[in-house]
């Protein structure tokens, strides 16, 4: 029994040992399983925080059936199978970093760089005592950096390119194991601790650039003795640079630029014997570059960009730089020559000397180097560019912009430049031809050669397949052949990366080829203004679907604006002004929803402004001035709320002040001058609060000047002249302190001219021809009497005197005409105030004593001579034959008419010369001669649109003569030889030798038949009855002649058939093709139907003018309206 107890006692320790072992193993297994579960839960929490996984990495690779150590991005230890590293760099994850990451206690490396993480960095990362690397760079993290515990083994902290704020936590400077701190490009604030280097002796790299840090650099920074990289640029550090930086003897890269340091460069930097990169850009450094810099032979890069360094570079200072690869001295005040010793820097690859004041020539020795980039732009270098430069096979960029380089490019240019990508030569004095060999520089992406004196034709550049930007503006380049297609443009269709083409200010003098429609889809801008481009705009331009800029202004383009432009949905700017375009403004422009600027100025466009312009919601600048636009301005302009500039001047627009324009908040320039607008100016025009320029001159506006104009505080220019404004000049205008130009001349204003504010600066020219105005003597108006109310007085006088005045005027006119010959002065003089007086001697000299060589026409009552006045003005001088009293009266009659008229479609009188033995009128010279010449000469031809425009011009002139005065003016001799054409083929009616002045509704019986047979109305030829209806008849005959090219006196016409009856019969039989000018119809399919319809309408209108009874004839206003409608219909049909 005792033995058994003893045996049991002896066996007990063995049982305890086995039991202890089993329990220990079980405990380890349970803990290991528990820890693995914790890691898995942490990763699942991470996965749950990801809201975007574009590559489906987590979805496809993180399977619950697989061990977490096989999940992509996760790495585990071999023994414990614990997660030790997470690397999700560049996975484009979007989400937040979960606090559960702090449970991965075996984690040594955490790389989430180059993703789209947002939110805060979790504080739980301080729990990861084994963590050595944190890389969260290139995300969008916000908040503050956690205060890491000093028990971390962190070696690398990389948080660059986020949006982190707050101060740099002091705990970072207690991480004794830290080697790199990369906090660049955040929003960190505050300063650096003075003792920052006391606990981080291992620090090799400190990257703090591009933050908001401030304060001084601690003097004790030298205690970070192992620093290799120190980057503090682009902050708000201030004070002086501590000299102790010179004790960082392992420092290789030092970036200090763009702070507010003062005191210059500490000389202690000379001790940095290992320094390879020295960057001190934007530090406001002055004086010369410190001389010790040039003794630091270890330097590979020098960057002193954007300072105020001055002085010259000595040639002997560059001898020790055997390792120098990059020299950046841009944007300083350095001067003198560029040292030839640069050619000894055999390792130099990048040379930046731009934006200084260097002079002299570019050293030839630079051609000995294997340079990659040279930038010397914006200096004053001169002389030829050394040919050796163009043989550097390694060169990628040559930037020589805006110097004074001269000479020519070598004919072999491009043969030795296989790597050249950017060639910048603009703004120099280079000349000669652009070498054809340029086409061999096949790597070129940017070719900028504008603003030089290159000549000859543009070479074919189709081999430059990588070309993106072509800039050749402002040279003397030409097309291959004058007036032919510009072939070089066709070659550019091979450049499929082309984005910008700028050819402006050359004399290409050619046609745009249809092949421009084959340009690259990437073409964004095409600029070719002032190039002498002729012909039409190809419809193929509609293929350039990504075009944003189209500048073809100031050329000689003709024809229509192609409707295909409406296909260019990305167009933002269209400039087609100063050409000879005609036709309607295509409604297709309304499809351009991104259009911000549209300039169609100075063309011959006709018809209305398209109503659909209301769709151009992005338009800011709209220039439609100096065309032949007509009809009322659509009220839809009021929807263009972003308009800044609107110019509709010099057209034939009518109606009231365009509705809604006064409400535009941002409009700064509004020009409606030289139109026929009428009615009142809106009283709430001051709602256009940004208005600085307002011109309503030469219209028919009436009513009072709105006092609210005085609220337009930015107004600098105000022209209301040549209207019918009445009432007072508002005193509220006195407060317009910026107003420089003010003109209310030729109105019906009355009362006292304001004297306060800016009115002290205005002269009499601002107030001419307002008979009711009074004020200061210097303004050349009557003095305002005390308590004298002009308005009140006029209210009593005018109503009672109007009838008397009308009677008196008519009596005076009749008396003047009876006594005209007796009142003519003996001395030579100008009869009309606005005309210039011309002496007989001057006119004789001008016409070579009225020689036959100067005679350009003659008639029964006068001869016409061409001459050049002393000031260089070319004129036509009409000398009247004075053999009879009838012919003398012809001169008097023409003077009587011309003194009363002024219209764009009437011949303009420049002056006259009159004495008892000689009478002459000096007229504007119209170089294209008479309509008769253009209709009946084999050497001249007018197309249908030109003839229709001329007919409208004549009708407008007649409308003015018949209805534009208190009394009607009857021409009495309207025929093609009395219609002259200017350089733009605009018609001007002249020869008023037998014109009559009639009161409203008046007829006159004239005993002598002076009008031309074939054109005179029946009642004039039979009874001598003169009326405006007679001119309508003559116009009808002219309209038939314009359409048929047959004169009424043609030999085929006689007693049995006349021009009128011949055309009338063809209309009744629907056979107008037998009577119209066959040249006007064209071939079938080429607008034949549109032309035929237009001619038919014109002939029908002529018949309405040719009614036998005068009262049955159509009025001239109806003629104008119908002709304009015919033209609009014709243009619309022809455009499509």
Q: Which amino acids are annotated catalytic?
A: 973
Please say whether the beta carbons of 637 and 610 come within 8 A.
Answer: no
Residue 1071 buriedness (CB in 10 A; 0-12 / 13-18 / 19+): exposed
Task: Count Cα atoms within 13 angstroms, Cβ side, for 959.
Answer: 17
Query: Two tokens at 1118?
Result: 């109806």
Which residue, among 918, 873, 921, has the nearest Cα to 894 in the 3D structure? Answer: 921
Taking the C-alpha atoms of residue 828 and residue 42, their distance in angstroms, rounded to an integer, is 111
Taking the C-alpha atoms of residue 979 and residue 986, their distance in angstroms, rounded to an integer, is 10
Taking the C-alpha atoms of residue 408 and residue 411, their distance in angstroms, rounded to an integer, is 9
Q: Which helix (H) or strand (E) holds 606?
A: strand 604-607
Residue 1129 buriedness (CB in 10 A; 0-12 / 13-18 / 19+): middle
Taking the C-alpha atoms of residue 647 and residue 577, their distance in angstroms, rounded to an integer, is 12
The 8-class DSSP code of residue 981 comes to: E
Annotated binding site: 878
Please say whether the beta carbons of 233 and 279 come within 8 A.
Answer: yes
Annotated binding site for ATP: 878
* Number of helices followed by number of strands (H, E) in the chain: 13, 66
Task: Count Cα atoms within 13 angstroms, Cβ side, for 1034.
Answer: 28
- Token pair 């019918």 in the structure block, residue: 724
φ, ψ dihedrals at 1093, nearest 5° = -65, -40
The residues with which 677 forms a beta bridge, in sequence order, are: 655
Taking the C-alpha atoms of residue 661 and residue 506, their distance in angstroms, rounded to an integer, is 39
Q: What pairing do the DSSP bridges indicate for beta strands 422-424 and 446-448?
A: parallel
Phi/psi-derived region of residue 161, left when phi > 0, alpha when psi is between -120 and 50, beta in every other case: left
Using CA atoms of 422, 427, 431, 434 in order, give the dihedral in degrees to the nearest 10. Answer: 30
Provide the 3-class DSSP secondary structure of residue 1072: helix
Nearest 5°: the CA angle 983, 987, 992 is 120
Taking the C-alpha atoms of residue 384 and residue 398, their distance in angstroms, rounded to an integer, is 14
Please say whether the beta carbons of 125 and 149 come within 8 A.
Answer: no
Which residue, among 939, 956, 967, has the nearest Cα to 807 in the 3D structure? Answer: 967
Q: Determine how many CB atoms are found less than 10 A away from the CB of residue 987.
A: 26
- Cβ neighbours for 108, distance < 8 A, ≥ 6 positions apart: 84, 85, 130, 131, 132, 133
Please say whether the beta carbons of 533 and 555 come within 8 A.
Answer: yes
- Taking every pair of Cα atoms in the chain, the longest distance, rounded to a whole number of angstroms, is 180
Which residue, among 224, 343, 324, has the nearest Cα to 276 in the 3D structure? Answer: 324
- Sign of the dihedral through C-alpha 1128, 1134, 1135, 1136: positive
Q: How far is CA 212 from the centre of its chain?
A: 38
Please say whether the beta carbons of 506 and 476 come within 8 A.
Answer: yes
Query: Two tokens at 1059?
Result: 């021009």
Provide the 3-class DSSP secondary structure of residue 1012: coil
Q: What pairing do the DSSP bridges indicate for beta strands 83-87 and 74-76?
A: antiparallel
Q: Determine how many CB atoms are found less than 10 A away from the CB of residue 1056.
A: 6
- Sign of the dihedral through C-alpha 914, 920, 926, 932: positive
Residue 348 buriedness (CB in 10 A; 0-12 / 13-18 / 19+): buried
Query: Two tokens at 107?
Result: 């984690």
């Amino acid at each position: 029994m005792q033995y058994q107890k003893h045996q049991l006692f002896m066996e007990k320790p063995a049982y305890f040992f086995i039991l202890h072992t089993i329990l220990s193993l079980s405990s380890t297994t349970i803990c290991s399983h528990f820890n693995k579960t914790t890691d898995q839960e942490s990763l699942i929490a991470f996965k749950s925080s990801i809201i975007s996984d574009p590559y489906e990495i987590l979805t496809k690779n993180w399977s619950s059936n697989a061990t977490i150590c096989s999940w992509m991005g996760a790495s585990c230890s071999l023994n414990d199978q614990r997660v030790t590293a997470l690397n999700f760099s560049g996975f484009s994850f979007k989400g937040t970093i979960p606090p559960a990451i702090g449970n991965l206690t075996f984690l040594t490396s955490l790389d989430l760089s180059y993703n789209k993480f947002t939110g805060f960095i979790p504080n739980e990362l301080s729990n990861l005592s084994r963590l050595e690397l944190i890389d969260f760079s290139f995300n969008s993290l916000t908040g503050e950096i956690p205060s890491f515990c000093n028990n971390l083994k962190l070696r690398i902290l990389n948080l660059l390119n986020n949006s982190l704020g707050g101060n740099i936590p002091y705990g970072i400077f207690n991480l004794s194991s830290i080697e790199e701190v990369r906090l660049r490009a955040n929003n960190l604030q505050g300063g650096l601790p003075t003792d920052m280097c006391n606990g981080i002796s291992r620090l090799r790299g400190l990257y703090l650039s591009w933050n908001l840090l401030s304060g001084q650099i601690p003097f004790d920074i030298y205690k970070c003795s192992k620093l290799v990289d120190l980057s503090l640029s682009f902050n708000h550090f201030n004070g002086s640079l501590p000299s102790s930086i010179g004790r960082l003897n392992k420092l290789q890269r030092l970036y200090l630029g763009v702070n507010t340091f003062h005191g210059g460069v500490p000389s202690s930097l000379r001790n940095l014997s290992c320094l390879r990169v020295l960057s001190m850009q934007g530090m406001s450094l002055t004086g010369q570059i410190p001389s010790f810099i040039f003794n630091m032979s270890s330097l590979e890069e020098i960057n002193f960009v954007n300072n105020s360094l001055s002085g010259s570079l000595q040639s002997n200072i560059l001898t020790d730089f055997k390792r120098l690869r990059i020299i950046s001295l841009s944007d300083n005040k350095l001067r003198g020559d560029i040292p030839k010793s640069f050619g000894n820097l055999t390792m130099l690859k990048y040379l930046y000397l731009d934006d200084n004041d260097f002079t002299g020539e570019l050293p030839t020795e630079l051609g000995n180097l294997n340079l990659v980039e040279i930038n010397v732009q914006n200096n004053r270098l001169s002389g030829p560019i050394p040919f050796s430069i163009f043989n550097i096979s390694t060169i990628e960029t040559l930037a020589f912009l805006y110097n004074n380089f001269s000479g020519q490019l070598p004919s072999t240019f491009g043969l030795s430049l296989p790597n050249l990508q950017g060639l910048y030569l603009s703004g120099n004095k280079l000349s000669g031809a652009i070498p054809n060999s340029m086409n061999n520089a096949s790597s070129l992406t940017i070719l900028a050669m504008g603003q030089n004196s290159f000549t000859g034709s543009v070479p074919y550049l189709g081999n430059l397949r990588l070309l993106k930007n072509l800039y050749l503006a402002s040279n003397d380049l030409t097309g291959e052949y004058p007036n032919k297609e510009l072939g070089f443009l066709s070659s550019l269709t091979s450049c499929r990366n082309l984005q910008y083409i700028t050819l402006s200010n050359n004399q290409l003098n050619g046609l745009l080829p249809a092949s421009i429609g084959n340009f690259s889809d990437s073409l964004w801008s095409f600029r070719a203004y002032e190039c002498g481009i002729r012909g039409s705009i190809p419809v193929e331009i509609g293929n350039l679907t990504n075009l944003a800029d189209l500048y073809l202004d100031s050329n000689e383009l003709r024809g229509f604006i192609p409707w295909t432009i409406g296909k260019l949905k990305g167009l933002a700017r269209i400039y087609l002004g100063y050409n000879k375009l005609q036709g309607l403004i295509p409604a297709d422009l309304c499809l351009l929803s991104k259009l911000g600027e549209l300039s169609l100025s100075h063309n011959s466009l006709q018809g209305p402004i398209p109503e659909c312009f209301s769709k151009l919601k992005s338009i800011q600048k709209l220039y439609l001035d100096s065309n032949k636009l007509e009809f009322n301005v659509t009220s839809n302009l009021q929807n263009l709320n972003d308009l800044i500039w609107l110019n509709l001047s010099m057209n034939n627009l009518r109606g009231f002040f365009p509705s809604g324009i006064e409400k535009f908040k941002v409009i700064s320039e509004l020009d409606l001058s030289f139109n026929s607008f009428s009615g009142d100016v809106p009283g709430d025009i001051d709602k256009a609060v940004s208005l600085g320029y307002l011109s309503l001159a030469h219209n028919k506006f009436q009513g009072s000047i709105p006092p609210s104009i005085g609220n337009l505080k930015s107004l600098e220019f105000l022209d209301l002249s040549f209207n019918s404004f009445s009432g007072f000049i508002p005193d509220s205008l006195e407060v317009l302190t910026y107003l420089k130009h003010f003109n209310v001349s030729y109105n019906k204003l009355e009362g006292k001219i304001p004297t306060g504010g800016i009115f002290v600066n205005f002269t009499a020219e601002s107030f001419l021809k307002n008979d009711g105005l009074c004020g200061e003597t210097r303004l050349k108006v009557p003095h305002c009497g005390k308590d004298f109310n002009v308005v009140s007085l006029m209210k009593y006088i005018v109503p009672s005197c109007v009838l008397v005045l009308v009677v008196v005027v008519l009596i005076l006119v009749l008396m003047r005409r009876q006594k005209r010959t007796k009142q003519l002065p003996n001395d030579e003089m100008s009869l009309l105030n606005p005309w210039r007086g011309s002496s007989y001697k001057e006119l004789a000299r001008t016409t070579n004593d009225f020689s036959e060589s100067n005679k350009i026409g003659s008639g029964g009552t006068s001869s016409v001579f061409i001459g050049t006045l002393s000031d260089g003005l070319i004129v036509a001088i009409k000398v009247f034959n004075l053999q009879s009293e009838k012919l003398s009266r012809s001169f008097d009659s023409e003077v009587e008419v011309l003194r009363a008229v002024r219209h764009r479609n009437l011949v303009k009188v420049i002056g006259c010369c009159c004495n008892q033995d000689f009478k002459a009128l000096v007229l504007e010279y119209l170089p294209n001669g008479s309509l008769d010449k253009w209709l009946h000469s084999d050497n001249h031809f007018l197309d249908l649109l030109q003839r229709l425009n001329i007919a409208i011009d004549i009708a407008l002139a007649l409308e003015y003569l018949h209805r534009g005065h208190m009394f009607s003016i009857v021409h009495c001799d309207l025929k093609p030889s009395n219609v002259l054409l200017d350089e733009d083929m605009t018609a001007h009616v002249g020869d008023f030798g037998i014109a009559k002045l009639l009161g409203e509704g008046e007829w006159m019986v004239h005993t002598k038949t002076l009008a031309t047979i074939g054109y005179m109305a029946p009642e004039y030829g039979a009874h001598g009855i003169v009326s405006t209806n007679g001119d309508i008849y003559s116009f009808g005959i002219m309209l038939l002649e314009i359409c048929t090219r047959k004169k009424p006196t043609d030999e085929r016409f006689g007693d049995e058939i006349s021009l009128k009856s011949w055309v009338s019969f063809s209309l009744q039989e629907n056979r107008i093709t037998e009577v119209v000018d066959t040249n006007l119809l064209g071939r079938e399919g080429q607008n034949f139907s549109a032309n035929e319809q237009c001619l038919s309408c014109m002939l029908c209108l002529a018949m309405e003018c040719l009614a036998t009874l005068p009262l049955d004839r159509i009025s001239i206003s109806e003629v104008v309206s119908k002709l304009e409608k015919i033209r609009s219909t014709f243009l619309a049909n022809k455009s499509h």
